[in-house]
Amino acid sequence: MYNALLKKIKDRTAGVGIIGLGYVGLPLAVEYGEAGYKVTGIDISEEKVKAINAGKSYIGDIPDERVNSLVKSKKLTATTVASVIRNLDTVSICVPTPLSKTKDPDISYILAAVKWIAKYLHRGMLVILESTTYPGTTEDMILPLLHESGLKVGRDFYLAFSPERVDPGNPVYMTKNTPRVVGGITPRCTKAARVFYEQAIDNVVAVSSTGAAEMVKLLENTFRSVNIGLVNEVALMCDRLDLNVWEIIDAAASKPFGFMPFYPGPGLGGHCIPIDPHYLSWKLKSLNYYARFIELAGDINSSMPEYVVSRIRRALNTHRKSVKASKILILGVAYKRDIKDVRESPALDIIRLLQEEGAAIYYNDPYVPEIKWNNAIHKSSRLTPAILKKADLVAIITDHTQYDYQKVVDNAKIVFDTRNATRNVIRGRKKIVLL
């Protein structure tokens, strides 16, 4: 049975299933479809399923042409019906893992997907969790649910964890050329997962267990969170010392060893860095250990929107204006440059805080035509000289490369730049206030 599964995987006759067709699941489905597999995507969203079956992509990194080509060749189909799992040989779980309001892990989407799989689990099936979670989830939470079927892991079915490594908007590293880490419950599980990924991913790294693979993902994003927290605190220090933090970082980065530059900003966004370290912190609290670096970095990073608002307040004060009744134009509401993703975007917190102080807010984002705040839909304003001149202050929150920053500075009264996006601006530098 084990050898039969490996043969199906290697000769591309294995039926591949992916539960969750978002930023992780859809790119994965496309890669396996293009590798020659018949891929079935499963999602509770009828809107996503209809889009895929119509050959349309809703993920910026995946052009419509790739999806349409696979749908036409019958290499990719999507459905909301879970019973298709009974006909699949591999199932990858790519569902969201948010935090609750109390910053506790919410693995309800994972458990719902596993219950689907458990209902249709059969001998010779490979199950892989890709959703980020705390160490122990695969073995302690998923395995018992699958064992309820009466089938035994490593003998009848195979279970592994392989953390997604998606960087939306990255033009260099995509699903195919980003190395994959895999760890299984048993050695056979690890090998099956490794062989599966080797068919579509350029480089696969096997580790000793699912727990090790789970920890790898959390280390990666905790590393980024802690270093961003450090440089954000350095930005606060430089403000007190009347120093330019961007100059300091650029000069430090000239050192060819022992230093890696990170840059401050208005706060963390996206699904990974603001959330994943708290999974690890939560798990360690259950073991009576306080993750000090994680908690401190979280405190600093989550306070950056308030700091941005305080700096905007100071910038307006120097022009004898208050935040209340000031017209403030927000440039960029996506959580990072050149993408449309607004999940956990610090721009939303900054907008809320400014509105609470009475500011009149409007925004422009070439990737986000409309957005909801205060229970209302707001549309992106056209970025014209008149719109820029109308604002008492223009705040650059996301440094999209489409923006003509010289034009912004030429027409704005004050520019508050949280990303050092105006570093190449020549005229009007006295109008610019850097984070």
CA triple 321-323-326, angle to 5 deg: 75
Q: Give CA–CA dist 189/126, Å, rounded.
A: 8
Q: How far apart are CA 383 and CA 332, in angstroms?
A: 11
For residue 21, the SS3 value is: coil
Which residue's entry shows tokens 């601006």? 425
What is the layout of strands, in order, in the sheet containing 38-42?
76-79, 38-42, 15-19, 90-93, 125-129, 157-161, 180-184, 204-206
> Which residue blocks in 242-303 are alpha helix, DSSP H?
245-252, 276-285, 292-302
How far, in Å, CA of 393 to CA of 416, rounded? 7
Tokens standing for 220? 């990666």
CB 269 within 8 A of CB 339: no
Structure tokens at 225: 């969170």
CA 338 to CA 401: how far, in whole Å? 7
List the structure tokens of 409. 């500075």
Contact 20, 110 (CB under 8 A): no
142 DSSP assignment: I
Closest alpha carbon to 130 in 18, 228, 281, 255: 18
Q: Is 128 within 8 Å of 93 (Cβ atoms)?
A: yes
- Cβ–Cβ < 8 Å for 125, 159: no
The type of residue at 387 is I
Q: Tell me if residue 272 is catalytic.
A: yes
- Other beta carbons within 10 angstroms of residue 111's beta carbon come to 15
Among candidates 116, 94, 96, 117, which has minimal Cα distance to 106?
A: 96
- Distance, CA of 405 to CA of 388 (rounded, Å): 11
Q: Which amino acid, one-letter code, is at 233?
A: E
Dist. CA 222–CA 217, nearest whole Å: 9
**Strands of the 415-417 sheet, one edge to the other:** 360-364, 327-331, 393-396, 415-417, 432-434
> Hey, which residues are catalytic here?
272
